Amino acid sequence: MMDFDLEQGIAILSRTPELLRIWLTDLPEPWITNNEGNDTWSAYEILGHFIFGEQTDWIPRAEIILRGNGRDVFEPFDFDGQFDATRGKSLGELLDLFAELRKQNLQRLREFDLQPSHYDMTAVHPALGPVTLRQLLATWVAHDLNHLGHLAEVMARQYREAVGPWKAYLDILGS
C-alpha cells in the first residue's frame, strides 16, 4: 500500500491522456462505440466521463477545499454529464480536449503550491461527508486507473462469446 504522494500521483495523471490516445486512435468504430448494454458506457463515453471530471470535479473541488472553512459542500457529480459535454464531437476532438484539460488542471494543481498542512484540509462531499484534499487527490489518481480498467473491460467483453471455452481463463470477461 502507498500513501498519497503528489508527484507520484501526477506521474499517473499526466500519462492518462497519451495512454488513451495511443489506445483508441484509429481503432475500428465498434471498439469505440460498443458498450455492454443498457446503462453501460462505451470507450467513447468513458473518455467523455474523463473530460467531464476534468471540467467539473477534481480541480473545482480542490479549490473548494483550499478555501479553508471545512464546511463547504461539493455540488453532486452528474454521472450523465459526459453525454451533453461530448455530443457531436469526434474521438479525435475528445482526445485533444482531454489532453488540454488535463494539462491545464495539472498546471493549476502545481500552482496551488501545496504544503503538508493543505492535505488535511476538508470540505463536505454530499454523499460521503467530510473528505480531505489528500483523499480527493488520491481518488483522482485511482479514478483514472479505475476507468482505464473499465475501458479494458468494456472492450474485452466485446469478445466474451467469441473466445469460446477460453472465457474460463479470462477474468476480465466476467461470468
Provide the CATH number for the domain around residue 11.
1.20.120.450
**pLDDT, tens digit, for every residue of 82-120?**
888 888 999 999 999 999 999 999 999 999 999 999 999
Q: Please determine, for residue 175, whether its predicted confidence score (pLDDT) is greater than 80.
A: no
Residue 116 lies in a domain: yes
Domain count for the chain: 1
The overall pTM is greater than 0.85? yes
Residue 152 lies in a domain: yes
Average pLDDT, the chain: 95
SS3 at position 132:
strand
Residue 86 lies in a domain: yes
**pLDDT, tens digit, for every residue of 162-174?**
999 999 999 999 8
Residue 54 lies in a domain: yes
Residue 153 lies in a domain: yes
- CA dihedral (146, 16, 76, 91) in degrees, to 10, reads -110
Is the alpha carbon torsion for 14, 20, 26, 29 positive or negative? negative
Predicted local confidence at residue 69, as pLDDT: 86
Residue 1 lies in a domain: no
Residue 81 lies in a domain: yes
Least confident of 1-15, 45-59, 69-83: 69-83
Domain coverage including residue 133: 6-173
